[in-house]
Structure 1
Amino acid sequence: MRQKTDPLHAASKLLDFDDDRIARLIADRGWRELDEFDRIGAIYDFVRNEIAFGYNQADDIPASQVLSDGYGQCNTKGTLFMALLRGVGIRCRLHGFAIHKGLQRGVVPELVYPLTPKEILHSWVEIEFEHAWINLEGFILDDAFLNVLQASFPGTNSLCGYGVGTDCLSAPPVMWEGQDTYIQRTGIVQDFGVFETPDTFYETHGQSFGWLRGILYRHLIRHWMNARVRAFRSGRMKAHNGATHAHKEAANAT
């Protein structure tokens, strides 16, 4: 393992892998005893499927809170993923972006969709593996949620909506195989570059909701969104062609 003075291995306020809950999880799962490929894969699968897709109160929450919540989206799951990776000696960094809001259409209720910012803060995690940097974004959606979307849009490859931005919905590259993974890549409209920690990214590029919309999001809208995600995942709510409109909307924006 790298020395802890390496900034791509170090803890931070958000990457709090010394927190008892995270340290206990790493020990209980025996991740440190695995070889590097399997160590990455086990943590990747944990974040992808045991931390369900959902919306936390903010992007800039520590990894330990994401773990306690048991759910997250691109940014918060990424923070937990980075903390777990650094906790077992894997060098990693954050790559920040903005995605078009159309990618969230279907999850965001249509009643409040016009109030959402045009661009939404996004990120993926880059890891150093076998002397190369690998882009990992495919951990965002859990299999149960992704499977419902695939069943809802049979024969569809290009989809922008319901938390997906891909040109290969039927078989997106989301499994850890030592290569890049993606699930929201086609929704990207801005590239902010790489950051050593999520702390620095959010200090530089915080999501701009505005005071009132921020309160509404934290206390009302995100709960509504999470209820919709749970309903889609369980099959109680069906996806509709709003995602098709979102795809055209995002394409026009780029």
Structure 2
Amino acid sequence: MSDDDRLLTATPILNFDHPSIAQLIEDRGWKALSQHDRIGAVYDFVRNEIAFGYNSADDISAADVLADGFGQCNTKGTLLMALLRAVGVRCRLHGFTVHKELQRGVVPELVYPIAPEEIIHSWVEVKTETGWANLEGFILDAEFLSALQSTFSDTPSLCGYGAGTNCLQAPPVEWTGSDTYIQETGIVQDFGTFDAPDDFYANHQQSFSFVKGSLYRHIIRHWMNARVRRIRSGSVPQIPGRALPNHNHEDSRHAS
């Protein structure tokens, strides 16, 4: 199999042959679009119709992400890759870690000290008609990002609340045919590119003990998702030691 062909194949994680994914693609009519518009339509779907949120694990399948209806960098990236390949667009994964500071404000303060210093992160590289483009701007849905922009209206750079950007008020998150980013400034380690998420997670997993992993899956991620929903509604929790720039925040009893 050629390198290009490998970047179009299904895998256990990129299971775009699943009926729910096949039906979605048929209903949306994405295959009838030009390549540029196919990428844009799939990208916009994952960015805004799959809400920012935390799933049970990074390595769940694309069909599971679609069923959840929400995801973070890794899981939304899995769904994006599956949809792109299903409509004939070649793509691959680029793996990283980001510093946990990027998630502060979403991770409850009570558990923030025990969170890993570096968090597994990835973005999607897509092959366009003119070359490769890095897609990361799909992570935060527009409503969530708008809440951050409104709260931090005078803040050009933000590392926290799921964002890592030096241009918060106008981050490059729209599909125009080139790179998109929203967590780029939090990157610590670069693991390089992988044909599929399956290859990436076979080599790189978040370092949780059994107890911490169980706590995350069953308690902490639900707590984080509740905070994400509050942020999306405009109620942004204050991070201890950081003053919010306006009155649009929760009081101190919600800071943990």
Runs of 4+ with deviation above 2 angstroms: 237-245
Aligned-residue offset at 1:56: 0.0
Q: TM-score, normalised by structure 2?
A: 0.92
Q: 1:14–1:198: 8 Å Cα contact kept in structure 2?
A: yes
Residue 249 of structure 1 corresponds to none
What letter is aligned with 1:36?
Answer: Q
Q: Distance in 1 between matches of 2:4 and 2:195?
A: 13
Q: 1:60 to 1:90 in 2, by over 3 A?
A: same
AA matched with 1:154: S
Secondary structure of the residue aligned to 2:176 is: coil
Using the TM superposition, give the Cα deviation of residue 234 of structure 1 relative to its aligned residue in structure 2, in angstroms: 1.3
- Distance change in 2, residues 1:169/1:239 (3 Å): farther
Percent of paired sites with the same residue: 66
Look up the equivalent residue of 2:236 and give its one-letter code.
Answer: K
Q: Give runs of aligned pairs for residues 1-254 of structure 1, distance below 5 A.
A: 6-235=5-234, 237-242=235-240
Task: State the number of aligned residues.
Answer: 243
Q: Distance in 2 between matches of 1:157 and 1:27?
A: 41
d(CA) in 2 for partners of 1:227, 1:238: 12
8 Å CA contact 1:127–1:133 kept in 2: the answer is yes
* Partners of 2:100 and 2:45 in 1: CA distance: 27
Q: Aligned-residue CA RMSD in angstroms?
A: 1.7
Q: Distance in 2 between matches of 1:222 and 1:103?
A: 16
The residue identity in structure 2 corresponding to 1:169 is: L
- Asked whether the equivalents of residues 47 and 139 of structure 2 are also in contact (C-alpha less than 8 Å), the reply is yes
**Contact 2:104 2:239 survives alignment (8 Å):** no
* Distance in 1, Cα, partners of 2:181 & 2:241: 18
What secondary structure is seen at the aligned counterpart in 2 of 1:6? helix
Separation in structure 2 between the aligned mates of residue 157 and residue 61 of structure 1, nearest angstrom: 34
How far apart are residue 157 of structure 1 and its match?
Answer: 1.0
Gaps of 5+ in 1: 246-254
CA contact (8 A) 1:9 1:91 kept: yes
Deviation by residue 1:152-173 (Cα, 9 ceiling, x = unmatched): 1111111100000000001000
Shift in Å, 1:238? 2.3
SS of residue paired to 2:5: coil
The question of whether the paired residues in 2 share the 8 Å contact of 1:106 and 1:243 is answered with: no
Post-superposition CA distance 1:145-188 (Å, at most 9, x none) = 00000011111111100000000001000000001000000000
1:231–1:243 Cα change, 3 Å: farther
AA aligned to 2:131 is A
In 1: Cα distance, 2:37 partner to 2:146 partner: 24
Note the C-alpha offset of 1:18: 0.3
User: In structure 1, how many angstroms separate the alpha carbons of the residues matched to 2:136 and 2:3?
Assistant: 25
Q: Give 2:36's aligned amino acid.
A: F
